[in-house]
Amino acid sequence: MTFKRTDGRKLDEIRPMTAKIGVVPNADGSAIFTFGKTVAIAAVYGPRMLHPQHMQDPKAAILRVNYDLLSFSVSDRKKPGPSRRSQEISKVTEWALSPALDLKDFPNTVIDVQIYILQADASTRVAGINAASMALAQAGIPMRDLICAVAIGKMDKDLVVDVNKDEEDFEEGEAASDIPIAKLANSDRITLLQLDGNIQPEIVSKAIALANKAFEKIYEVQKKALKEVISE
């Protein structure tokens, strides 16, 4: 029997997406990206001088990402401040974004990317990456491409696109697997891959193929939002 999604979506259907650029006037670039009820906001500051000086790279700017949940974004209040989880996500997000950037024109500087989740219904890190990618573009940082991100799930034996919280907690059969993936929009270059759950090695490539289809749709949403600010 095929897995039935509680919100009635088809297995390969992404939740309604929205994207808005320029949501933090103080920032050099900023954006909000949503997957259904999951809302992520990202702001970019920089390139700016990096202190302390010994952390500077004379060859290129360094990218510094901070991801966290706002305390009221989840059912059980999240204690403010970094956790091991948020530190890990910050680091993998840094690795997910950096292959898109060309930072050699800005030696000794830092580009700070701040990502916060306002409302969480799973897939928060990938929503954050989509928002950050747009914010970096708005900030005018030289980019090879946009980064698109989505979480593929496996519910018992069925692959689904864009996992929500109900699905993340699914426990029947082979239970839930959560596979956040990100890539450069227009080339076969994966920049983020994480996995939690139970998945046969031969299914992993199928999950990636499914993500690739979703990326095309996410890319259109990101592009449209960016074009809106350019035409203003």
Torsion of CA 209, 215, 217, 223, to 10 degrees: -160
Joined tokens for residue 78: 């999240």
Segment near other proteins (CB under 8 A), from 6-14, 81-89, 120-128, 134-142?
A: 81-89
CB 97, CB 65: distance < 8 Å: yes
Joined tokens for residue 21: 């650029």
Segment near other proteins (CB under 8 A), from 16-24, 89-97, 160-168, 217-225?
A: 89-97
Of 184, 225, 15, 38, give the one whose Cα is nearest residue 116. 38
Of the two residues 143 and 190, which places its CB atom closer to other proteins in the complex? 190
CB 34, CB 40: distance < 8 Å: yes
Of the two residues 22 and 145, which places its CB atom closer to other proteins in the complex? 145
Q: How far is the CB of 48 from other proteins (least distance, A)?
A: 20
Footprint of other proteins on residues 45-74 (CB under 8 A)?
A: 57
CB 40, CB 89: distance < 8 Å: no
Residue of the chain from 72, 77, 95, 227 that contacts other proteins (CB under 8 A): 95
Pairing, β 62-69 against β 109-119: parallel
Give how far Cα 127 sits from Cα of 50, 51, 104, 160, 173, Å: 27, 29, 27, 16, 28
Footprint of other proteins on residues 129-188 (CB under 8 A)?
A: 179, 183-184, 188
Of the two residues 134 and 179, which places its CB atom closer to other proteins in the complex? 179
25 contacts other proteins (rule: CB under 8 A): no
Q: How far is the CB of 217 from other proteins (least distance, A)?
A: 19
Of the two residues 119 and 194, which places its CB atom closer to other proteins in the complex? 194
Residues that bind other proteins (CB under 8 A): 57, 84, 87-88, 91-92, 95, 98-99, 179, 183-184, 188-202, 204-205, 208-209
